[in-house]
């Protein structure tokens, strides 16, 4: 049974403390998405989705996204640059993590997900 679009039913939280997200986000299984913001006088008017991920421990997974630990070069460079950004996260049951992440990647088309590029390479 497909759960496509099921991520829309999740309870989402967000923080602009991207660099400290591993200290702010709870230690629960879930999915997350980094976004770059375009703002007008401090109000986010657009979001560009940059990376989607999952983890059995969100805080532990986000800890590995610190600039000095990040292995995805594109994401590392983006995290190191200045700019307005935010992290969105939602708790997900462990057995639904893979599906929720795939759904998010498919729908949001984040710029830095290797999975997205691997799927694109296979279809071209």
pLDDT at residue 2, rounded to an integer: 42
- Distance CA(93)–CA(99), nearest Å, equals 11
Closest CA to 74 of 32, 124, 121, 34: 34
What domains lie within the chain, and their CATH numbers?
A: 10-123 (3.40.1440.10)
**For 12-70, how does the pLDDT look when each residue is reduced to its tens digit (9 = 90+)?**
999 988 888 989 999 999 999 999 999 888 787 899 999 999 999 999 999 999 888 88
The average pLDDT across 78-84 equals: 85
C-alpha 92: how far from chain center:
13
**Nearest-CA neighbor of 37 among 93, 86, 96?**
86
The structure's pTM equals: 0.82
Look up residue 13 and give its two tokens.
């939280």
Quick one: 76 exposed, middle or buried, by C-beta within 10 A (0-12, 13-18, 19+)?
A: middle
pLDDT over threshold 60, residue 123: no
Q: How many CA atoms lie within 13 A of 94 on its CB side?
A: 4
DSSP 8-state code for residue 96:
G
d(CA 16, CA 18): 5
pLDDT of the residue at 60:
95
98-102 average pLDDT score: 95
* Distance separating alpha carbons of residues 50 and 74, to the nearest angstrom: 10
């Amino acid at each position: 049974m497909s759960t496509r679009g099921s991520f829309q039913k999740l309870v989402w939280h967000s923080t602009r403390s991207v660099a400290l997200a591993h200290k702010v986000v709870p230690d629960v299984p879930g999915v997350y998405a980094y976004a770059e913001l375009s703002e007008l006088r401090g109000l986010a008017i657009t979001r560009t989705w940059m990376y989607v991920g999952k983890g059995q421990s969100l805080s532990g997974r986000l800890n590995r996204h610190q600039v000095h630990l990040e292995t995805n070069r594109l994401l590392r460079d983006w995290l190191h640059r200045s700019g307005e950004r935010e992290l969105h996260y939602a708790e997900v049951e462990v057995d639904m993590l893979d599906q929720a992440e795939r759904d998010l990647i498919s729908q949001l088309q984040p710029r830095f997900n290797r999975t997205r590029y691997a799927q694109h390479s296979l279809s071209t």
